[in-house]
Amino acid sequence: MTENISVNLNGKVALITGSTSGIGLETARLLAKNGADVALHGFGRAEEIRRLVDEIGHETGRKVLHFSHDLADMLQASLLVDDVTAAFGKIDILVNNAGVQHVADIEAFPDAEWDRLIAVNLTAGFRTIKAVWPQMKSRRWGRIINTASTLALAAEPRKAAYVASKHGVLGLTREIALEGARFGITCNAICPAWVLTPLVAQQVEAKAATLGKSFQETAEIEFLTDMPTRRFVDPAEVGAAVLFLSSDLARSITGIALPVDGGSLTV
Q: Which is nearer to ligand NAD, 36 or 238 (CB)?
A: 238
Q: How far is CA 84 from CA 6, 200, 220, in A?
A: 25, 29, 41
In the complex, least distance from residue 162 CB atom to ligand NAD, rounded to whole angstroms = 7
- Report if residue 227 touches ligand NAD, rule: CB under 6 A: no
| CA nearest neighbour of 245 among 236, 255, 233, 235 | 255
The Cα 255–Cα 252 span in angstroms is 10
* Residue of 9, 13, 16, 23 that binds ligand NAD (CB under 6 A): 23
Instruction: Decide: residue 190, CB within 10 A, 0-12 exposed, 13-18 middle, 19+ buried.
Output: buried
Q: Per CB under 6 A, which of residues 237..256 are in contact with ligand NAD?
A: none
67, 162, 194, 232: which one is catalytic?
Answer: 162
Q: Which is nearer to ligand NAD, 70 or 222 (CB)?
A: 70
- Report if residue 123 touches ligand NAD, rule: CB under 6 A: no
128 is catalytic: no
- Report if residue 95 touches ligand NAD, rule: CB under 6 A: no
From residue 39 to residue 58, what is the string marking binding to ligand NAD with x (rule CB under 6 A)?
Answer: ---xx---------------
120 Cβ contact partners less than 8 Å away, ≥ 6 residues apart:
71, 72, 98, 99, 100
114 Cβ contact partners less than 8 Å away, ≥ 6 residues apart:
160, 161
Which helix (H) or strand (E) is 186 found in, with range? strand 185-192
- Report if residue 147 touches ligand NAD, rule: CB under 6 A: yes
**Site residues for ligand NAD per CB under 6 A:** 18-24, 42-43, 70-72, 97-100, 120, 147, 149, 192, 194-195, 197-200
Q: Which residues are catalytic?
A: 162
